[in-house]
Amino acid sequence: MREHWANLALLVRTAVRTDPWRSLGSLLEPLGSLMFPLFGWFLGLLVDGLLTDDKARLTTAAVGLLATVALRYVAAYVGTAIRTGLAERVGFAFDEEIARLAGGLPGLAHQEHTGYRDRLELLRQSQGALGQSLNHVVSTANAVVGALGTAVVLVLVHPLVLLLVVFALPALPLAALQQRGHARAEEASAAPARLARHLRGLMLDPRAAPELRVLGLGPELLERLDRAWTAARLPLHRAQVVAFAISAVRSLVFAVGFGLAVGFVLWRAARGLAGAGDVVTAVVVCQQVQNQVLGPAYGLAGMGRVLRAAGRLRWLRTHAAAATAGLGDRPAPDSLGEGIELSEVSFRYPGTGTGTGTGTWVLREVSVRIRPGTVVAVVGENGAGKSTLVKLLTRLYEPTEGRVLVAGTDLAEVSPDSWRRRVSGAFQDFARPEFAAQYAVGLGDLPRRDDGAAVRSALARATSTDLFGVLPEGSATQLGATWPGGVDLSTGQWQQLALGRALMRPDPLLVCFDEPTASLDAPTEHALFERYAATARAGRAAGAVTVLVSHRFSTVRSADLILVVDRGRIAEAGTHADLMERAGLYAELYAMQARSHA
C-alpha cells in the first residue's frame, strides 16, 4: 500500500510541476460530480412540490435543478478542456524523463541484463498509461466525490437505503483481482512482445531485405512472428476473459441490491411513510450508485495500470541512481602523463554463465602499459576479447577485477562524462543519424557541430572521397529516405560519416577505432589505417593514444605496439618486426592470413 501511495505521489508531483495552474483547474471536475446526486434530490423535491402545490418547494427545486445541470456541464466542459491540455504536457514530461534516464546510464552493462530489458519493455508499453495518468487520477477523484455525495442523499431518503452500498463493496476486491491478473499477464507477455517487435523490425528493415529474399526467409520469419505475437497476446486475452467474468458477477450482485433498495422505498411509500419524491429520488440516485459507487472500483482498475507504470518509472529512477552511485567525480586529466595502464584487468559479462549467474570470463588478468602518443593495434580472432578491451578503455564497462589507470589515476575515480569528453571513436556497429549531412558528422564534437570548416576537415581525414560533393545539397543534404527530400546512403557512405565523427574532436586523449572498416576490402582498410596512423603520429606531441582493432593482421603492421588477444588474454605484445621474429601466435596467424589472400 505504501508503494501505491508513493506511485500516486509521483504522478501528482509531476502534474503540479509541469503546470501548477492547470493542475489546480482540473479539480473542477470532481466538484461537478456532486451535481449528479443533488440533481436526484432536487427532482424528488420538485415532485413533492407538484403533488402538494407547495410553491416554495417548487421554486427551490426549479432553481436547484437548473443550477445543478448548469454547474455539471460547465464543470465537465471546462475541467475536461483543462485536463486534456495538462495530460498532453504530463505525458511529454514522462516521455522526456524516461528517455533521459534510460539514455543517460553511464555504461552498457545494463544492456546485458535480460531482466532490465524486460522491465524497460514493460515501461515502454505503459508510457501511454503514464501520459493518461492525470485522466485516471481525476476520473477516480470524480467517482469518489460523486459516491460521497450519493451516500449523503441516500441517507436523506432513508438510512437503510445506504445498505445498497454493501452490494457494491464486492466490486473492490474483484477489481483488485482484475488488476493483479492484468499485471501478471503484462509480465508474461513482455519477452514475447519484445521478440515480436524485433522480428517485425527485421522484416521491415530495407538493409535486411536482400538477404531475407535471397534466402527465402520470409515464411520462416512470418511464422516466428505469428508465434511470438500469439505468445504475447495469449496471457492478455486470458486476463480479459477473466475480467469479463468478474465484471458479470459484480454487476449481478449489484442488481440484486438495487432491486431491494428501490423495493424498500416503494414499500414505505405504499404505507404512507415516504412521499412520491422519495421514490423518484431513490430510483434516480440508486441508478447513479451503480456508477458512483462502482466508479471507484473501475477507477482503481484503471489506476492500477497507471500506478504500475509509475512504479516502473520509480524503478528506473532507482536503477539509474544506483548505476551512477559511487562513480568517480574527478575531472579527466589534461594529458596522459605516464600513459594508460591496464593492471590485472579481468572482465565478464553478467548473466553469461551456465547456472552460476556470474558470467564467463571474456578478459583475464590483462596487464599492459601504453605510452602517450602510441598507435596501438589490437588483433586476434573473432571472440578473442578485442572489442571488450576497447569498451573498458572508453569506460562503457567497468572491470570486474583490476584497474585501468590514466595518467596514474584509477579511471574508476574519474567522472565518466568528463572522460568521454576526452575520448572519441568509431565502431563496427556505427550509428546512422538521419540529420543534415554536416550535423551527422558534427555530432562528434557538439560545440563545433556548426563549424563547416571543422566538419569538412574531419571528413577529409576520414576518407579519400569528397562525400559532401556527391550529395545533392552538399553538407546540407537531409539524410534518410523517409524524410521529405531525404537521401539514403550506402553502407560505405554511412561508414565515412561515422569515421568523420570520430575525428571531429581537436584534442582527444584516446581515439578508438573498433573495426569500423570491417566491411571494406583489405587494401582499402590498410590505406585508411595508414591515414589514421599518420594523423595520430602528427598529434603525438599532444600525447594522444590511438587504438585500432582489426582481425586483419596485414592491415596494422605499421603500428607502434601490436597486442595479440587470444582467449581473453594478451598472448603477445610488440612491434610487427618483433612479433614476426618471435615466430609465435602472431607470426602464425599472419602467415595463415597471407596465404589465404595469396
Residue ranges in the chain whose pLDDT is less than 70? 1, 4, 112-114, 125-129, 131-132, 169, 172, 289-302, 350-359, 517-527, 535-542, 596-598
- Which residues of the chain form CATH 1.20.1560.10? 2-319
Which CATH architecture fits 332-422+508-598? Answer: 3-Layer(aba) Sandwich (3.40)
pLDDT of residue 367: 94
Q: Could you tell me how far CA 255 lies from the centroid of its own chain?
A: 44
pLDDT of residue 337: 85
Q: Could you tell me how far CA 314 lies from the centroid of its own chain?
A: 13
- Which residues of the chain form CATH 3.40.50.300? 332-422+508-598
CA distance 422 to 101: 23
Q: What b/e readout covers 233-242, taking b as 16+ CB neighbours within 10 angstroms? A: bebbeebeee
Question: What are the C-alpha distances in Å from 243 to residues 128, 129, 455?
Answer: 21, 19, 59
Radius of gyration of the chain from Cα atoms? 34
Axis crossing angle, helix 35-52 with helix 133-157, rounded to the nearest 10: 30
Number of CB atoms found within 10 A of residue 584's CB: 14
Using one digit for the tens of pLDDT, what is the confidence trace for 463-498? 777 889 999 999 999 998 888 888 988 888 888 899
pLDDT of residue 88: 79
Using one digit for the tens of pLDDT, what is the confidence trace for 404-436? 999 999 999 999 889 989 999 888 888 899 999
CATH number for 2-319: choose from 1.20.1560.10, 3.40.50.300, 2.40.160.10, 3.40.50.1000: 1.20.1560.10
